[in-house]
Structure 1
Amino acid sequence: MHAPTSWASFAGRRATDVVECVDLQQDPQRLAEPGPWFVVVDFEAFGRGGRARAWRFAQVSDDVAPAAGALRDAPWRGPDPSSWRSSLDRDAYQEAVQRVRDHVRDGTVYQVNVCRVLGAPLPVVPDGATSLEPDAAALAARLVAGNPAPYGAAVHVPASSGVDPVWVVSASPELYLSLDAGVLASGPIKGTARTADGLTDKDRAENVMITDLVRNDLQQVCSPGTVTVTDLLGVEEHPGLVHLVSRVRGALAPEIAEAPDRWSRVLRATFPPGSVSGAPKSSALRIIEELETAPRGPYCGAVGWVDGDRAELAVGIRTFWWERGPHDDGVLRFGTGAGITWGSDPLAEWHETELKAERLVGLASARTADEFGTPARSAET
């Protein structure tokens, strides 16, 4: 085995040889400095206990596939498919769905995204006097081959690098924010089914609701009258499922575009993404904190890059992250969730979380070519 190097990949850009990490909650103005900066923001960031960080690398190249190069040949060794456990089992998840429905009935919220976090032991591997972390590049390559996604991403800075470490691999289909030529855009997803025929009126109503929330978020940082919905309820096909996707864009206000802390102001106005929180957002976040039993971390946060007045950030869905805690040798985690409204059926919402997880958890659990692509059911306990 080889010791993993520090690297990042997203949206056609790949970087190696980490230089530094900055805390975006303490020094957001650093993002105005020359980049690109590869960004990972926890769902709980900005006042709710999570982290918002950005890494700068010495070497950057464009127009390359994720996990390209020699690291791509490394085999992925995932966890035992039977070892996955869920932060909420089926009964607890259905109870959470019912409690959201009660909140909707009482007028507290219109919609809440309720998530659960799957975890499986994946220890470090002894290598002489050191221990090697799991190979993020190998998992990224597996996802590129088995579940290609428009916003696939990976950032791996090992603890041995001496820089604040991170281990995230994502196959996100959803655009959180892009900035190009002064235009700020977002592509919220709401509505998931195996085929387009399976999309329901509930899915369409939910998408419209969240698209309106995103439009309101962008209006906080865009010039008046410039925010528009350019596409509503578009159907996008992805491996094993389809999504309803809408598109919103606006012209970033000049006083924000020219400010050194522009990204702090943009993120604080729009974060966390509306599609993975709910509406109204503030009430939804309080209910999420009440119902969910595990932090989401980078799942449902943001992953991508920022480079001066250009940026592309994905919503951190379909995302794996690995951590080594004080009482374990390492755990691979993956989040899955569903948007809950008054029209939600608790068991159907549970099955939606399974649908979103099964292909990717199967890919991450596969250990040989024969197992490649075999679904692994997400554990209920």
Structure 2
Amino acid sequence: MVVFGNYVYSKPLKHIFAFSKKDLPLCFTKIQKYAKYGYLVGYVSYEAGLFALQEQKEHKKPLLEFILFKRRSPLLASSLKSKALFYPTLKQGLNEELYKHTFEKVKHHLKAGNTYQVNLTQEIHLQSHCEGLEIFKALLCMQDTDYKAYFKTPFVEIISLSPELFFKLKKDKITLEPMKGTIKRGENKQEDKKNKKNLKRDSKSISENIMIVDLLRNDISQIAKLHTLKIKSLLTIKTYPTLHQMVSKLQAKVPHKSLYEIFSALFPCGSITGAPKKSTMGIIQNLELRDRGVYCGAIGVITKNKARFNVPIRTLIRYQGEDFYRYGVGSGIVWDSKWEEEFKELQLKSQFLFPHNFKLLETILVRDNQAFLLSYHLKRLLKSAKDLGFDYPKILEDSYQSLKNPLDTLKNFEIFEPLLSKEGWESIPDTLLPFLKRDSNPSILRLLLGKEIFFEQIPYTPIYSHKVAFAKDYIHSHNDLLYHKTTLREHFKESFNQTIFDYIYSNEKGEITEGSRSNIVILKDNILLTPSKESGLLRGCMRQVLLDSKLIKERILWKKDILKAERIFCINSLRGIIEVTLNECKNTSN
């Protein structure tokens, strides 16, 4: 599936690509030739740079790549439905110290008069259990744009939610819409209106936008018909789900100009370089020390007498051989910019990837001033917070560091109830004690981490059943939040009653995953087995203890394995190890 704008493209006929700048003129000649036979969808990488600067260098990634498609059809809402849930793991985040350091270098260049504005960027690395097309569909539900794109080739996979038009061409009329100036959405209508008004009056944003408009006027004037260049609108505010942006619009006529001539005059877009373009691109190359690639290049579609390209911001890119997505993000720096505000803008522009519309959760068995497997719980919570981009108070890290895991290994696998054992209990650190009610009766501590941290204690109640049943619905292994304990639990649809302790779920392939409140262990051929984490499940603390003790092994399991198991166990850190049996009348096929 290849998407650009509101269309899906099919029936590929030709594949055009170039790894060297010397091949670009020939590629554009081919593109112009093939345009009358269908629709050419593709991209030009930022490293194609200023076309006028010739070089012989062979690049490792394509500078240009287009595929000719015979057909296109409207992108239907029904084709965008997906049961996958995208919430990425952050493998490399924004680097505040590095940003501050490079920002100061930009200021030196501004002071020396080497540049007037620099678009300084950083790159985030993300991983997900979702397929690329599933990610595209998920993000589209949160932030639809006119210039969206999904494009996958042997070289690269691109997921673009760019709101910025680079240029559109219709016969000889060209339109450009540079975007410069950003402010976050308000918490309510009144604050949102105020923020929008503040952006419209912000001298820095106005200065940045007008500077880029002047740069693009200079670029387009090289190929525009005399007296046809007009500024159709200046400093208009456009609103998106997480932010407001300042946009201007230029139009001109470019009769008898080839696509190569148009790109030579305009590429890359001034809104993602700065001004003046040539010298500023040199400064960027020396400061960022990485290739931008498709990010900040151009993605678009070309057909007979028409073309439309976005500026690939808000874009995820995964290159051949990589198991993560790159997400570039930047802002324009001028003389009166402050590094703290610019860094916040980078965070704001990344926000739609991490909506944080839920809380992280740990449920911990406590009694007096002790907690069961506390170090395991805090370790899991801290890892999830780091992976999912949650800020967390220092007391959590300090509390975890003060603990020494008392249950590194268990010697035997046997029915185990934490309240009847001395093993696994840890003294609650002094840093956490003020938040808890001390009680000799056992209780369950719910530790919730969102924008703030919350502690609540609920009574510990006995279980009334040792029966389990197969759930009617399945859970999708491409749900990134399955692998973290959160307050989002819609994937567990079965409701509990006193006759069933837990429901056993399978994934979309039929592989057993977990219960809705416990992990599953079976005895088969005298070996204790638990479903593989690759099937899609939460790695419970009790499960981790048993794996660390080498008492259980991971394996892909199926419903037939449960049905033929010699023994079945449910395990979690509240109840320990419970032997269960299948409730025959409740078993249903997926």
Q: Which residue of 2 aligns with 1:75?
A: 84
- Does the C-alpha gap of structure 1 residues 367 and 183 become closer, same or farther in structure 2, counting only changes over 3 Å? same
Letter in 2 for 1:84: K
Q: Are the counterparts in 2 of residues 196 and 235 from structure 1 also a CA contact under 8 Å?
A: yes
Q: Which residue of 2 aligns with 1:323?
A: 319
Write the mapping of 1:42-61 to structure 2, written as runs, cut at 5 A: 42-46=45-49, 49=59, 51-61=63-73
Mapped partners of 1:236, 1:79: distance in 2? 27
Mapped partners of 1:53, 1:192: distance in 2? 31
Q: Are the counterparts in 2 of residues 28 and 264 from structure 1 also a CA contact under 8 Å?
A: yes
Mapped partners of 2:107, 2:489: distance in 1? 39
- Does the C-alpha gap of structure 1 residues 100 and 223 become closer, same or farther in structure 2, counting only changes over 3 Å? same
Q: Counterpart of 2:480 in 1: which secondary structure?
A: coil
Q: Which residue of 1 aligns with 2:167?
A: 177
Q: Deviations over 1:55-104 (max 9, x none)?
A: 1224322x324xx5556435255532xx3314x61111112112111111
Letter in 2 for 1:111: Q
CA apart distance, 1:166: 2.8
Q: Deviations over 1:249-268 (max 9, x none)?
A: 100133x1xxxxx1111112
Mapped partners of 2:489, 2:146: distance in 1? 25
Q: Are the counterparts in 1 of residues 180 and 245 from structure 2 also a CA contact under 8 Å?
A: yes
Q: Deviations over 1:290-330 (max 9, x none)?
A: 110322111111111011210110000000011243xx5x1
Which of 105, 111, 116 aligns to 1:105? It is: 111
Q: Are the counterparts in 2 of residues 72 and 137 from structure 1 also a CA contact under 8 Å?
A: no
Which of 75, 88, 92 aligns to 1:85? It is: 92
Mapped partners of 1:71, 1:324: distance in 2? 25
Which of 256, 272, 290 aligns to 1:294? It is: 290
Relative contact order higher in (CA < 8 Å, ≥ 6 apart):
1
Q: Are the counterparts in 1 of residues 296 and 313 from structure 2 also a CA contact under 8 Å?
A: yes
TM-score (norm 2): 0.54
Q: Are the counterparts in 1 of residues 143 and 161 from structure 2 also a CA contact under 8 Å?
A: yes
Q: Which residue of 1 aligns with 2:7?
A: 13
Q: Which residue of 2 aligns with 1:215?
A: 217
4+ residue runs over 3 A deviation = 46-50, 68-72, 76-79, 361-366, 368-372
Mapped partners of 2:168, 2:113: distance in 1? 33
Q: Are the counterparts in 1 of residues 82 and 138 from structure 2 also a CA contact under 8 Å?
A: no
Mapped partners of 1:371, 1:148: distance in 2? 26
| Identity rate, percent | 27
Q: Deviations over 1:16-42 (max 9, x none)?
A: 343332126242112212231002111
The gaps in structure 1 that reach 5 residues or longer are 1-6, 124-133, 160-164, 257-261, 373-381
Answer yes or no: is 1:245 the counterpart of 2:251.
no
Q: Counterpart of 1:358 in 2: which secondary structure?
A: helix
Q: Are the counterparts in 2 of residues 95 and 346 from structure 1 also a CA contact under 8 Å?
A: no
Q: Counterpart of 2:103 in 1: which secondary structure?
A: helix
- Does the C-alpha gap of structure 1 residues 212 and 74 become closer, same or farther in structure 2, counting only changes over 3 Å? same
Q: Counterpart of 2:295 in 1: which secondary structure?
A: coil
Q: Are the counterparts in 2 of residues 116 and 294 from structure 1 also a CA contact under 8 Å?
A: no
Write the mapping of 1:1-381 to structure 2, written as runs, cut at 5 A: 7-23=1-17, 25=24, 26-32=26-32, 33=34, 34-46=37-49, 49=59, 51-61=63-73, 63-65=74-76, 70=79, 72-73=81-82, 75-77=84-86, 79-80=88-89, 83-86=90-93, 89-122=95-128, 135-157=131-153, 159=154, 165-194=155-184, 195-199=195-199, 200-254=202-256, 256=257, 262-325=258-321, 330-362=323-355, 367-368=480-481, 370=488
Say which one has the larger Rg.
2
TM-score (norm 1): 0.82
Aligned residues: 335
Q: Counterpart of 1:233 in 2: which secondary structure?
A: strand
The gaps in structure 2 that reach 5 residues or longer are 19-23, 50-54, 185-194, 357-386, 389-478, 483-487, 491-590
